[in-house]
Structure 1
Amino acid sequence: MSSGRMRYAPTSKLFIYSMSTLYVVSPPLEIFEGLKPELRQRIVTLPDFLRYPAGRIKGITRSLLAGRVALPRRILYYWFPKAYFDCLVQARPGDAILIYEACNVRVLRAIRPYLPERVPCYIYYCNPVGTTFRRPAEELQAIRALGYRLTSFDPCEAERYGMACTGQYFRYPEHQPDNIDSDCFFCGLPKDRAGTLQRLRTRLEAEGLTCDFVIPRTPAEKLTYPQYLDRLARTRCVIDISQKGQTGLTRRPLEALFYGKKLLTDNPEIARYDFYRPQNVFILGKDPEEQLRAFIESPLAEVPETVRAAYDVNEWIRHYLP
């Protein structure tokens, strides 16, 4: 525990220290729980309070006014909860701000005058920007012009749009079950890959492999992230099918790496990564499909702990820590 004083912000689980602090908006909390105590005490996590507000009047007024004219802070409190917004506003020189997936240019313009000038404000895009923006180049440039520092998980998109690449990350599991319930596991929205997933499942089952596919089409069918990780921990092989145009890592390859699972992926760029081992990673379209079953049933190749540790959240967060 730092010797700096700690106080609790009202109506939220916020910890504010007198030492330099990183304020993070909308992080994956289950992964951030893997932060070491000495790093966790320097980080304040905030919910996604910049998202479209609940309530018809709030939504209409924000759409009409936010980012179009300069607005006093009391108006912004109507759309953005005061307790959370003030955490960013009250950041001090030496602190930093990190916002996940911020895509509304006018919202970012509305809050920018209230963010301290000497506090760097980063935005991290952990999904392809083509799925986040209608006009990625134009909108990213507008956000950059406001003074935000743009970062991405995808090295190709980072180069294309002039962002820093901070990569993908995960955390060490707290525990793993002993039993295995399936040979292959996939969980994700269908997006533009439903046909690919169905053909792959048919191919795997033809090999006599058991498949656990969760492709939710309604909110009731979705798994929580702990439920997802429990299913992943009980499989032999994790399936990773990227969205169209994506070259950066999804989180699935790192989940497989940290949980000690085989990986079946359609991303050929994975062969460039230091954790790649052909005994552990099967690349669809490159490796012979008649060897699928033999691949899944064969033992894993060892990956040095130093390689795995480089993808841990404790290393990744250092890109943003002040």
Structure 2
Amino acid sequence: MSTLYVVSPPLEIFEGLKPEVKQHIVMLPDFLRYPAGRFKGITRSLLAGRIPLPKRILYYWFPKEHFDRIIHARPGDAILIYEACNVRVLRAIRPYLPKDVPCYIYYCNPVGTTFRRPAEELQAIRSLGYRLTSFDPCEAKRYGMECTGQYFRYPESQSDDITSDCFFCGLPKNRAGLLHDLRTSLESEGLVCDFVIPRTPSEKLTYPQYLDRLAHTRCVIDICQQGQTGLTRRPLEALFYDKKLLTNNPEIARYDFYRPQNVFILGKDPIERLRAFIESPLAKVPEHVRAAYDVNEWIRHYLF
């Protein structure tokens, strides 16, 4: 049976894999990231991807126990790396990856936030033989990647204890003003807001903490970055947790789970109806629609 080696997966979501799927997955940490230790960092910056290097040198930067797992993959297997963006690192390890084993890279964030020169750097990675995939259909088309979409998992439990009307959690990025105005507008309607906008590491929530807060709200807020059209994970979290969704992404109306009773699109739907929208019942989404976004279905892009 084939095996998929996944580098730096979102563990909390991959825990939702069914046993019959999980037995074919080998999850590895992000061992390709910038190494700890000044000397390791300097030597990797100077040498990696500039000249061919023996494995014993690569083992100095990339832990042998993890690197060996992917370089010993067999025909029929596949490799999936999350968010790989260092062209020289990918060039350094490429000669040791089995030529008959496909190696995919999945970009789950806009590539403009990952690369300084997306078109140039993605083409350089592609020319090395990596197969590029993206969560965003527009970016996939623009940069010649395959779109494998966004995904989530079924929650282990639900909660009927609601403590907020609207929940947002995320870094301010370039949307701090929008978030401030949105919160002011929501609270002026008498809605209880739970906004977590961390500015220091100590203010950040773990993902389990985040999901716990989400479970206790009526409506999840999704504010996409400028130019983004693909789904963030927020719409699917709302879908799987049976929550309303407030988003600024008009492209969401194209998705099969979209129901106007469940999704409020900023800039399109009348703002004066927002409170009524949040307090109204959810429309039922057929289970087969929800199941299509489950991690067990998504992983088949790479596993089979």
Give the TM-score normalised by structure 1.
0.94
* Distance in 2 (alpha carbons) for counterparts of 1:101 and 1:179: 36
- Aligned partner of 2:208 in structure 1 is 226
Is 1:61 the counterpart of 2:43 in the alignment? yes
Structure 2 matches for 1:263-278, cutoff 5 A?
263-278=245-260
Structure 2 matches for 1:230-241, cutoff 5 A?
230-241=212-223
Structure 2 matches for 1:1-322, cutoff 5 A?
19-322=1-304
Deviation at 1:244, TM superposition (A): 1.3
SS of corresponding position for 2:264: strand
Deviation at 1:115, TM superposition (A): 0.2
* Distance in 2 (alpha carbons) for counterparts of 1:156 and 1:20: 31
Extract structure 1 runs of 4+ deviating beyond 2 A. none
C-alpha offsets along residues 192-239 of structure 1, whole Å, 9 cap, x if unaligned?
111110000000000000000000011100000000000000000000
Deviation at 1:56, TM superposition (A): 0.6
* Distance in 2 (alpha carbons) for counterparts of 1:83 and 1:304: 44
Deviation at 1:20, TM superposition (A): 1.4
Q: One-letter code of the match for 1:262?
A: K
Deviation at 1:176, TM superposition (A): 1.4
* Distance in 1 (alpha carbons) for counterparts of 2:160 and 2:289: 25
* Distance in 2 (alpha carbons) for counterparts of 1:224 and 1:49: 21
SS of corresponding position for 1:248: coil
* Distance in 2 (alpha carbons) for counterparts of 1:101 and 1:245: 19
* Distance in 1 (alpha carbons) for counterparts of 2:162 and 2:76: 48
Q: One-letter code of the match for 2:255?
A: Y
Q: One-letter code of the match for 1:140?
A: L
Deviation at 1:149, TM superposition (A): 0.2
Deviation at 1:177, TM superposition (A): 2.0
Q: One-letter code of the match for 1:81?
A: P
Q: One-letter code of the match for 1:46?
A: L
CA-atom RMSD in angstroms: 0.5
Deviation at 1:178, TM superposition (A): 2.2
SS of corresponding position for 2:221: strand
Q: One-letter code of the match for 1:53?
A: P
SS of corresponding position for 2:2: coil
C-alpha offsets along residues 172-194 of structure 1, whole Å, 9 cap, x if unaligned?
00001220010000001111111
Q: One-letter code of the match for 1:182?
A: S
Deviation at 1:121, TM superposition (A): 0.1
* Distance in 1 (alpha carbons) for counterparts of 2:19 and 2:35: 33
> Percent identity among equivalent residues?
87
* Distance in 2 (alpha carbons) for counterparts of 1:58 and 1:186: 39
Alignment coverage as a number of residue pairs? 304
C-alpha offsets along residues 279-313 of structure 1, whole Å, 9 cap, x if unaligned?
00000000000011000000000100000000000
C-alpha offsets along residues 15-52 of structure 1, whole Å, 9 cap, x if unaligned?
xxxx3100000000000000010000000000011001
Deviation at 1:314, TM superposition (A): 0.4
SS of corresponding position for 1:296: helix
SS of corresponding position for 2:303: coil
* Distance in 2 (alpha carbons) for counterparts of 1:216 and 1:80: 31
Any stretches of 5+ residues in structure 1 without a counterpart? 1-18
Q: One-letter code of the match for 2:174?
A: D
SS of corresponding position for 1:320: helix
